Amino acid sequence: MQPAYYFSRNLSLETERLLLRKIIPSDAPDMYDYAKRPETSRYLLWFPHSSLSATLELIRYLQKEYSAGKFFDLGVIYKPTGKMIGTAGLTSYDEKNRCAELGYVLSPDYWHMGLAAEALEALINFSFCEIGAHRVEARYIEGNENSRRVMEKCGMRFEGIARGKMYVKGAYRNIGCCSLLAEEYFAVPRVNLYGSKKKTAILDRIINRINKN
């Protein structure tokens, strides 16, 4: 199944501490809180957000992209507080080769808590178990070794550095890549966390109907 099928609907993924769900306009203050900070986007393609209104305008635009099946990012919600602390999702999906590129960003206030890896692990599981990807990969700008460690913590293998691969913020940057193949991921038994959630929800509805009768 193509990512557009899921992301144009009410997709959500859940982990022990996180809820990954579609970004909505009411998330604007939380997003702006971290997106305005230079350290957040130091190793990313975008510049810090200039104002809350700019963040809100972006999120409203994303609603159209969701509906069109052209945007595959989710808001990362920290369950203990209900605060949106970042985004994570599929940067792209190569249907012919069944290759998903994954990406993520978190508020600096939540770095070094294992949350980025928790979100990435959920995306990896979704990509292999639900979408049917053959390969998942993630890229980072050289110098962002923390991001590489997140990828490797999730079982991805470092493949190397592509020199001068991307022109980012006025300079050509070296880009690192880590990847994981389906055969490697399924070398140990795996549960489709998204599929299990759907089955649980269906079972709950059936039980509720029985109880009402």
Task: Give residue 196's pLDDT.
Answer: 66
Task: Give residue 146's pLDDT.
Answer: 96
Quickly tell me which residue has 């200039």 as its tokens. 50
Q: CA-to-CA distance for 106 and 117, rounded, in angstroms? A: 11
Q: Crossing angle for the helix pair 193-212 and 115-125, nearest 10 degrees?
A: 80
Domain enclosing residue 108, as ranges: 3-212
Residue of 51, 71, 48 lying closest to 61 (CA atoms): 71
Residue of 39, 44, 179 lying closest to 111 (CA atoms): 39
Task: Give residue 28's pLDDT.
Answer: 98
Q: CA-to-CA distance for 171 and 174, rounded, in angstroms? A: 10
Q: Which residues contact 78 (CB under 8 A, 6 or more apart)?
A: 17, 18, 84, 85, 110, 115
What phi and psi values does residue 38 have, to the nearest 5 degrees? -55, -35
Under-50 pLDDT residues of the chain: 199-211, 213
Domain count, the chain: 1
- Is the pTM here over 0.75, yes or no? yes
Task: Give residue 83's pLDDT.
Answer: 97
Burial tier of 28 (Cβ tally within 10 Å: 0-12, 13-18, 19+): buried
The CATH number of the domain holding residue 80 is 3.40.630.30
What phi and psi values does residue 55 have, to the nearest 5 degrees? -65, -45
Q: Tens digit of pLDDT for each residue in 81-135? A: 999 999 999 999 999 999 999 999 999 999 999 999 999 999 999 999 999 999 9
Q: How far is CA 165 from CA 42, 116, 172, 177, in A?
A: 17, 24, 7, 11
